Chain A
Amino acid sequence: MQRRLLIFAGLALVLWAPTLSAQRQVSGRVVVERTGEPLGGAEVYIEGTQLGVLADGNGDFVISVPEGPVELRANFLGYKSESETVPADQNTVTIAMEEDVLQLEGVIVSGIAATVQRRNAANAVGVVPDTLINRVAAQTVENQLQGKVPGLVVSTNSGAPGGGAQVQLRGVTSINADVDPLYVVDGVLMSNQAIQSGADAITDATGGGSGDPQDNPVNRIADLNPADIERVEILKGPSAAAIYGGKAAGGVIVITTKRGNEGKPRFNVSGRLGSSYDAEKLGTRSFETVEEAIAQFGPNNGATAAAFNSGGTHDYEDILYGQNDLSFETSANLSGGTEATRYYAAGLIKSDEGIMQGTGYDKQSLRLNLDQRVGSSLGFNVSSNLIHSKAGRALSNNDNTGTSFYMVLPFTPNFADLEPDAAGNYPDNPFERSNPVQTRDLLTNDEEVFRFIGSLRGTYDLIASGRHNLQIIGDVGADFFSQDDKLVFPPDLEFEPQDGLPGTSVLTEGDNTNFNTSGNLAWTYSPEGGAFGSTFTSGLQYSESDLDLTRTTTRDLIPGQGNVDQGSSVDVDQDRQRIEELGIYGQEELLLLQERLLLTAGLRADRSSANGDDDKFFVYPKASASYRFHDLASWLSEFKLRGAFGQTGNRPLFGQKFTPESSDNIDGETGTSIDEDVIAGDPQIEPERQSEVELGFDATMLNERATLEFSVYQKTVTDLLLERTLPPSSGFDTQIFNGGELRNRGVEVALSLTPLLSKRVNWLFRTIFYHNESEITDLPVPAFEARGFATSLGSFRIEEGESATQIVGNAGVDADGIPIVVKLGDAAPDFTWSFTNDLTFDNVNLYFLLDWKKGGDIINLTNFLYDAGGNSADYELADGESCPAPEDVDSDSPGVCRLGVFGTWTRPLVESGSFLKLRELSLSYDIAPALGQNGFFGQQVSYLRVGVSGRNLLTSTPYNGLDPEVSNFGNQPIGRNIDVAPFPPSRSFWLTVDVGF
Chain B
Amino acid sequence: MRIRPLLLLFALPLLAGCKGDLFVPDFNNPTLDCTSGLCELPADPSRSQLAAAATGILIASRLDYGDYIRDVGILGREAYDLDGSDPRFVSEMLQAVFDPGSRAFGGDHWLEQYEAIRTGYILLNALDAATSITDAEKEALRGFAQTFEAWNLLLVINTHDTNGAVIDLNQPVGFLAPIESKDVVFQRISDLLDEAQGHLQAGGSAFPFDLTSGFAGFDTPTTFLTFNRALKARVEVYRGNFASALSALGQSFIVDCGSFNTGPAFTHSTSAGDIVNGIFEDPATADIRAHPSLPDLAQLQANGSPDLRAQSKLFRTDPKTLQDHTSDLTFLVYSGPGSPIPIIRNEELILLRAEANIGLGNVGAAATDINCIRTQVGGLAARADLSAANALDELLYNKLFSLLFEGGHRWVDMRRYGKLGELPIDIPGLDVVHDVYPIPRDEVLPR
Shortest beta-carbon distance, B180 to chain A, in Å? 11
- CB neighbours of A460 from chain B (8 A): 6
- CB neighbours of A574 from chain B (8 A): 28
Shortest beta-carbon distance, B326 to chain A, in Å? 23
Contact with B174, one of A581, A669, A726 (Cβ below 8 angstroms): A726
Q: B57 within 8 Å of A by Cβ? A: yes
Indicate with 1 or 0, residue by residue over B37-77, a CB within 8 angstroms of chain A CB atoms: 00100000000000011111111101100000000000000
The answer for the CA separation of A521 and B8 in the assembled complex, in Å, is 13
- CB neighbours of A609 from chain B (8 A): 22-24
Q: Which of B205-213, B289-297, B382-390 lies at the interface with chain A? A: B205-213
Shortest beta-carbon distance, B389 to chain A, in Å? 43
Q: A664 within 8 Å of B by Cβ? A: yes
Query: A671, B13: Cβ atoms under 8 Å?
Result: no
- CB neighbours of A519 from chain B (8 A): 10, 13-14
The answer for the CA separation of A733 and B212 in the assembled complex, in Å, is 28
Q: B1 within 8 Å of A by Cβ? A: no
Query: B267, A666: Cβ atoms under 8 Å?
Result: yes
- CB neighbours of A727 from chain B (8 A): 166, 174-176, 442-443, 446
Q: A730 within 8 Å of B by Cβ? A: yes
Q: In this complex, which of A582, A654, A729, A733 has the most chain B Cβ atoms within 10 angstroms of its Cβ?
A: A729
Q: How large is the interface on A (under 10, 10 to 19, 20 to 34, 35 or more residues)?
A: 35 or more
Shortest beta-carbon distance, A510 to chain B, in Å? 14
Q: A578 within 8 Å of B by Cβ? A: yes
How many B residues face the partner with a CB closer than 8 A? 72
Contact with B271, one of A607, A668, A675, A683 (Cβ below 8 angstroms): A668
Query: A731, B118: Cβ atoms under 8 Å?
Result: yes
- CB neighbours of A575 from chain B (8 A): 28
Q: A666-B58, A731-B115, A735-B174 are in contact. Are A660 and B30 (CB under 8 A)?
A: yes
Contact with B173, one of A577, A663, A676, A680 (Cβ below 8 angstroms): A680
- CB neighbours of A542 from chain B (8 A): 17, 20
Q: A540 within 8 Å of B by Cβ? A: yes
Query: B63, A675: Cβ atoms under 8 Å?
Result: yes
Query: B35, A729: Cβ atoms under 8 Å?
Result: no
Q: B29 within 8 Å of A by Cβ? A: yes
Query: B54, A671: Cβ atoms under 8 Å?
Result: yes
List residues of B (112-132) whose CB comes within 8 Å of A's CBs: 112, 114-119, 121-122
Q: B177 within 8 Å of A by Cβ? A: yes
Q: B324 within 8 Å of A by Cβ? A: no
Shortest beta-carbon distance, B319 to chain A, in Å? 21
List residues of A (705-752) whose CB comes within 8 Å of B's CBs: 725-733, 735
Query: A671, B166: Cβ atoms under 8 Å?
Result: no
Contact with B52, one of A462, A671, A732 (Cβ below 8 angstroms): A671
Shortest beta-carbon distance, A508 to chain B, in Å? 16
Q: B32 within 8 Å of A by Cβ? A: yes
Q: B302 within 8 Å of A by Cβ? A: no
Indicate with 1 or 0, residue by residue over A251-280, a CB within 8 angstroms of chain B CB atoms: 000000000000000000000000000000
Indicate with 1 or 0, residue by residue over B364-385, a CB within 8 angstroms of chain A CB atoms: 0000000000000000000000
Query: A728, B443: Cβ atoms under 8 Å?
Result: yes
- CB neighbours of B14 from chain A (8 A): 519, 540, 584
Query: B34, A667: Cβ atoms under 8 Å?
Result: no
Query: A578, B173: Cβ atoms under 8 Å?
Result: no
Q: B266 within 8 Å of A by Cβ? A: yes
List residues of A (538-589) whose CB comes within 8 Å of B's CBs: 540, 542, 571, 574-582, 584
Indicate with 1 or 0, residue by residue over A646-674, a CB within 8 angstroms of chain B CB atoms: 00000000110011111111111111111
Query: A669, B27: Cβ atoms under 8 Å?
Result: no
Q: A472 within 8 Å of B by Cβ? A: yes
**A-B interface pairs (CB < 8 A), number:** 205
List residues of A (143-177) whose CB comes within 8 Å of B's CBs: none
- CB neighbours of B22 from chain A (8 A): 580-582, 607-609, 614-615
Q: A681 within 8 Å of B by Cβ? A: yes
- CB neighbours of B209 from chain A (8 A): 669
Q: B430 within 8 Å of A by Cβ? A: no
Identify the closest chain A residue to B26 (Cβ): A658
- CB neighbours of B275 from chain A (8 A): 664
Shortest beta-carbon distance, A908 to chain B, in Å? 23
Query: A729, B30: Cβ atoms under 8 Å?
Result: no
Query: B116, A729: Cβ atoms under 8 Å?
Result: no
- CB neighbours of B171 from chain A (8 A): 730
Q: B111 within 8 Å of A by Cβ? A: yes
Shortest beta-carbon distance, B226 to chain A, in Å? 20
Query: B115, A659: Cβ atoms under 8 Å?
Result: no
Q: B273 within 8 Å of A by Cβ? A: yes
Query: A673, B28: Cβ atoms under 8 Å?
Result: no
Q: B169 within 8 Å of A by Cβ? A: yes
Q: In this complex, which of A575, A654, A672, A782 has the most chain B Cβ atoms within 10 angstroms of its Cβ?
A: A672
List residues of A (767-804) whose CB comes within 8 Å of B's CBs: 782
The answer for the CA separation of A733 and B214 in the assembled complex, in Å, is 29
Query: B13, A674: Cβ atoms under 8 Å?
Result: no
Contact with A663, one of B29, B165, B267 (Cβ below 8 angstroms): B29
The answer for the CA separation of A654 and B24 in the assembled complex, in Å, is 9
Q: B269 within 8 Å of A by Cβ? A: yes
The answer for the CA separation of A665 and B271 in the assembled complex, in Å, is 9
- CB neighbours of A672 from chain B (8 A): 30, 52-53, 55-56, 119
Q: A676-B115, A728-B440 are in contact. Are A662 and B176 (CB under 8 A)?
A: no
Q: In this complex, which of B24, B171, B213, B273 has the most chain A Cβ atoms within 10 angstroms of its Cβ?
A: B24
Q: B31 within 8 Å of A by Cβ? A: yes
Q: B401 within 8 Å of A by Cβ? A: no
Identify the closest chain A residue to B37 (Cβ): A683
The answer for the CA separation of A670 and B57 in the assembled complex, in Å, is 11
Q: A683-B35, A729-B169, A730-B173 are in contact. Are A674 and B274 (CB under 8 A)?
A: no
Shortest beta-carbon distance, B58 to chain A, in Å? 5
Shortest beta-carbon distance, B109 to chain A, in Å? 11
Shortest beta-carbon distance, B87 to chain A, in Å? 12
Query: B115, A671: Cβ atoms under 8 Å?
Result: no
The answer for the CA separation of A658 and B29 in the assembled complex, in Å, is 9
Other than the given A654-B24, A678-B115, 4 more pairs (CB < 8 A) read A472-B6, A519-B10, A673-B116, A731-B118
**Interface residues, chain A, with chain B CB atoms under 8 Å away:** 460, 462-463, 472, 519, 521, 540, 542, 571, 574-582, 584, 607-610, 614-615, 654-655, 658-676, 678, 680-681, 683, 725-733, 735, 782
Can you list 10 A-B pairs, Cβ within 8 angstroms, ordered by A?
A519-B14, A571-B272, A578-B27, A582-B17, A610-B24, A666-B59, A678-B115, A725-B442, A731-B119, A735-B174
